[in-house]
Amino acid sequence: MGCPAEDARLATEVLLEADLRGVDSHGVARLSGYVRLWEAGRINVTPQMRLVHETPSTATVDGDSGLGLVIAPRAMAIAMEKARQVGTGWVSVKNSNHFGIAGYHAMQALAADMIGMAMTNASPLVAPTHAVDRMLGTNPIAVAVPAKEQPPFVADFATAAAANGKLEILQRKEKKAPAGWLQTAEGLRSVNANELKAGGALLPLGSDKTHGSHKGYALASIVDIFSAVLSGANYGPWVPPFVSFLPLSENPVGEGIGHFLGAMRIDAFRPADEFKQHMDNWITTFRQANVKKGEKKVLIPGDPEREMTEERLQQGIPLLPPVVRDLQELGQKFGLSL
Amino acid sequence: MGCPAEDARLATEVLLEADLRGVDSHGVARLSGYVRLWEAGRINVTPQMRLVHETPSTATVDGDSGLGLVIAPRAMAIAMEKARQVGTGWVSVKNSNHFGIAGYHAMQALAADMIGMAMTNASPLVAPTHAVDRMLGTNPIAVAVPAKEQPPFVADFATAAAANGKLEILQRKEKKAPAGWLQTAEGLRSVNANELKAGGALLPLGSDKTHGSHKGYALASIVDIFSAVLSGANYGPWVPPFVSFLPLSENPVGEGIGHFLGAMRIDAFRPADEFKQHMDNWITTFRQANVKKGEKKVLIPGDPEREMTEERLQQGIPLLPPVVRDLQELGQKFGLSL
């Protein structure tokens, strides 16, 4: 595509990390989608990322339509440098594109004994409580916290009841979706995994008002505001779609999509070693909690992805036939043998 | 109780703000609970709040066992002063007590054109996904964002499927709880609003794994870690109970309960006026979204509480007979006429 080698390596690392962690929807399966965005002229492969505003603990970054896979790690590096200087760093990014898994970016902070945070807005698929219109993306939040002997705490989740990736799995298997994930275009509950294609919407975390969907709606809104209203990106229904065949908004309210990245130095609050010992205690205490009949253990956020990574580093990453075909086609297009 | 007049005024303001906003569970109905904690020697009415660690953008505060209603606003003032200096300010608090509604503290930032954040841990009532043990509090998160002509965006929510206050309302009315709020001591679903008294637990936001309870569990955990592991307060199952008749842990892992307060200056990212104009657009766009049949409108986080405040400022705050009796008894105890 013409990316500088260093950018290509970084983007590859972010995609492969998704596959290793078992987030197949955000790994190499998406490569063809990024290529199509580039073909549609929506991704600049040689972006000049610019710092458009800053204070000692904050920055606003213009991603120059670059790959989010490349822009987000660089914005995170700015957040971490600010944290080194003044304790914490917070970077809001505009004019970017899909950044892969949020967890990758948050985890960059771990080795520096920092808490890392990453969020991004995304094209509208989620209806607020009471609404029929899709107004918000599945707007994920990731928070990574270092421990000492224990593996880190890594939360990384969509603020919808279920991420779109889970729906795609059900579509491929031609299965129904659980009640509480989706509604029809009229706002009625739906178990049709293809409901989005018929104009339906995903539901916020909490599924309905009784179970706190207004909280999931608030969380997705906070991600949208921090990522895009702070930075000057598109927000809410104006966020550009990941798929290249959908048109861009004719009257955008900002530039590209937005991210928000944060880093807090542990020793800006408390000696890092002391903190990490307590995190070990926190983690082992929760892991040892008594479980319900039929369940094996209580998981710590990040456990399933870490276990999957160990397995896949041993056994390889299984790819579905359509993904293999996609990669073969890409290889042909760019004159690479696979 | 012996609080300095200024502290008493501040604590009163926080409690009354809860009543005005319709969060009756956190208003004057709780006054007798704070008094009982003081009688049990667990609240220091003349605390010497200390800043035990700081960087330009962070601070760790020791609340000296003071009322959270007084410690949290002062910690928020430190966060805001740091934001004035370096763009953002983040304060983790240990050795505190219940701080009332999180929203009050987050909203302090609004008049200064800052985004405010407040969270606190609380005594364990919530079982992580797969667990039967209560390991986390209902650990609320509040985020307040200023707008221009529109009222501010104010999210303030427990990270459990339902806050304990909602359960108390059902208990008083002798009604059943919706499925998805509670489980029995064995981890089975329960609709008994009194299930907590029988050793049951509240469920995290999301209610069950299929609907994302691991996300609610992660959110409550993040609140716990930011509030207590960063500051040196008690975390997880060690968080001291609000009710004075329950014993304190014999082997605490920290001091008191913990809070986390944050302030981000809008103009650390973007000119404040520009941001607030876009927030107006965000708010009006969401408010105008099409609604489901049977629903009146799409609400913006903070709308219900603001409407309630307008109503109660006109018509007064209705108090239930047990709350009135409680206040009368307190009046007698302290020689005040009511």
Which of A128, A183, A205 has the CB atom closest to B215's CB atom?
A205
Please give the C-alpha separations between residue B68 and each of B4, B18, B48, B49, in angstroms, as whole numbers.
15, 14, 13, 11
- Please state at what angle helix B68-86 crosses helix B5-20, rounded to 10 degrees: 90
Contacts of B221 in chain A (CB under 8 A): 153, 155, 286, 301
Whole-number pLDDT of residue A110:
98
Mean pLDDT over residues A132-161, rounded?
Answer: 98
Pinpoint the residues of chain A covered by CATH 3.30.1370.60: 44-158+204-269
* Nearby residues of B21 by Cβ (< 8 Å), 6 or more positions away: B101, B103, B305, B306, B308, B309
Helix (H) or strand (E) segment spanning residue B55: strand B50-55
Tell me the C-alpha distance between B319 and B172, whole Å: 14
Q: Do residues A234 and A63 lie in contact, with contact meaning Cβ atoms separated by under 8 Å?
A: no
d(CA A240, CA A243): 9
| Topology of the domain comprising A44-158+204-269 | Ribosomal Protein S8; Chain: A, domain 1 (3.30.1370)
- Report the pLDDT value the prediction gives residue A172, as an integer from 0 to 100: 82
Q: What is the Cα–Cα distance from A106 to B116, expressed in whole angstroms?
A: 22
The one-letter code for the residue type at B24 is: D
Interface of A with B in 310-329 (CB under 8 A): none
ipTM, two decimals: 0.98
Residues of chain B by 3-state class (helix, strand, coil), percent to 5? 40, 15, 40
Cβ-based neighbour number of residue A199 at 10 Å: 12
pLDDT in tens, A12-63: 999 999 999 999 989 999 999 999 999 999 999 999 999 999 999 999 999 9
- Across A93-115, average pLDDT: 98
Chain A CB contacts of B157 below 8 Å:
212, 214-215, 218
Task: Give me A216's structure tokens.
Answer: 């999931």
CATH 3.30.60.50 in chain A, residue ranges: 162-202
pLDDT band at A164 (very low <50, low <70, confident <90, very high): confident
Under 8 Å CB-to-CB from A249, ≥6 apart: which residues? A234, A237, A238, A240
- Contact at CB, A290 and B132, closer than 8 angstroms: yes
Residue pair B309/B20 in contact by the 8 Å Cβ criterion: yes
Can you tell me whether residue A23 is helix, strand or coil?
A: coil
Torsion of CA A29, A31, A33, A36, to 10 degrees: -150
Q: DSSP label at A74?
A: H
* Spatial contact of A93 and A72, defined as CB atoms under 8 Å apart: yes
Query: Searching chain A, which residue's CA lies closest to the CA of residue B219?
Result: A155
Could you say which architecture CATH assigns to the domain B46-158+208-272? Answer: 2-Layer Sandwich (3.30)
Dihedral, CA of residue B30, residue B31, residue B33 and residue B38, to nearest 10: 150
The whole-number pLDDT of residue B228 equals 98
- Who among B222, B290, B291 is closest to A143 (CB)? B222
**B269 to A86: CB separation less than 8 angstroms, yes or no:** no
Question: A126-135, A316-325, B162-171, B247-256: lowest mean pLDDT where?
Answer: B162-171
A133 with B289: Cβ contact below 8 A: yes
* pTM: predicted TM-score of the whole model, two decimal places: 0.98
Burial environment of residue A173 by CB neighbours within 10 A (0 to 12, 13 to 18, 19 or more): exposed
Predicted confidence (pLDDT) at residue A338 exceeds the cutoff of 70: no
Using CA atoms, how far apart are residues B145 and B278, in angstroms rounded to an integer?
12
Write down the pLDDT at residue B244.
85
pLDDT of residue B337: 76
Q: What is the pLDDT of residue A173?
A: 87
For the record, the structure tokens of A11 come out as: 């983007």
Chain A, chain B: beta-carbon pairs less than 8 Å apart: 272
Contact A269 B295 (CB under 8 A): no
Q: What is the mean pLDDT of residues A216-239?
A: 98
Q: Is B279 near chain A, with CB under 8 Å? A: yes
Angle between helices B321-333 and B31-39 (to 10 degrees): 40
pLDDT at B338: 61
10-residue mean pLDDT profile of chain B (338 residues): values are 96 97 93 95 97 98 98 98 98 98 98 98 97 98 98 98 89 93 97 96 98 98 98 98 88 98 98 98 98 96 98 96 94 87
**For residue B255, which phi and psi values (nearest 5 degrees)?**
-115, 125
Pairwise CA distance, residues B93 & B229, whole Å: 10
Measure the CA dihedral B316/B320/B326/B332, to 10°: 50
Residue position matching structure tokens 């200064």: B112
Are the C-beta atoms of B293 and A187 separated by less than 8 Å?
yes
How close does chain B come to A241, measured CA to CA in Å? 18
Q: Does A161 touch chain B (CB under 8 A)?
A: yes
Distances (CA, A) of A141 to A29, A156, A317, B296: 21, 6, 25, 30
Q: Is A274 helix (H, G, I), strand (E, B) or coil?
A: helix
Asked if A121 reaches chain B (Cβ–Cβ under 8 Å), the answer is no
pLDDT, residue A40, reads 94
B22 touching chain A per CB within 8 A = no
Was domain A162-202 assigned CATH 3.30.60.50?
Answer: yes
What's the rounded Cα separation, in Å, for the pair B103 and B306? 12
Query: Looking at the predicted structure, is the pLDDT value of residue A226 above 80?
Result: yes
Chain B CB contacts of A284 under 8 Å are: none
